[in-house]
Amino acid sequence: MNTIIPIIPIIPLEQLHLAWQVLIALALVVGGVFALVGAIGMLRFPDFYMRLHAPTKATTLGVGGVLVASMAVTWARGGLGVHELLISLFMFVTAPVSANLLAKAALHLRVHSQAGDPPAAKAPD
């Protein structure tokens, strides 16, 4: 008879302490708001570069909020939350790198921005 022993005890969320429940709910709401703002920004911004800004900043924080809530659930149940920590680290490292590569590719392809060119720099005196 093969039985699987769970590493983390399965405690229903309703049985967690009220402070844990509030922390988890707050992290989910904050993460959801950031993800929503990122999605709205991606739809509303008129330019490629502006659209690139919304998901790399706001949506990364939104996913971070959801992962913090997941870590809080794991900690409240007595686990370590290593998986969520590694996912968070991976997200916060790869999102800026991918955005940078997309921006460099757009610059290489000479994608025009509606923001206009920056003002010419003055020579130092």
Residues 6+ apart with CB under 8 A from 41: 50, 51, 53, 54, 55, 58
- Residue 8 belongs to a domain: no
- Residue 120 belongs to a domain: no
pLDDT at res. 65: 93
**What is the sign of the dihedral through the CA atoms of 9, 13, 15 and 20?**
positive
- Tokens representing 107? 């610059």
Could you give the CA distance from residue 111 to residue 116 in angstroms, rounded to a whole number? 12
- Residue 113 belongs to a domain: no
Burial 15-54 (b: 16+ CB within 10 A, else e): ebeeebbebbeebbebbeebbebbeebbeeeeebbeebbb
Grade residue 35 by pLDDT with cuts at 50, 70 and 90.
very high
| C-alpha closest to that of 37 among 23, 52, 57, 67 | 57
Mean pLDDT of the chain: 84
Q: How many domains does the chain have?
A: 1
- Residue 55 belongs to a domain: yes
Q: Answer yes or no: is pLDDT of 6 > 80.
A: no
Span 69-99, pLDDT tens digits: 999 988 888 888 888 889 989 988 888 898 8
pLDDT at res. 25: 93
pLDDT at res. 113: 82
pLDDT at res. 14: 75
Whole-structure pTM value: 0.75
- Residue 92 belongs to a domain: yes
- Residue 121 belongs to a domain: no
Domain residue limits at 50: 17-107
- Residue 33 belongs to a domain: yes
Could you give the CA distance from residue 57 to residue 64 in angstroms, rounded to a whole number? 11
Q: Answer yes or no: is pLDDT of 121 > 90.
A: no
- Residue 1 belongs to a domain: no
pLDDT over 70 for what percent of the chain?
A: 86
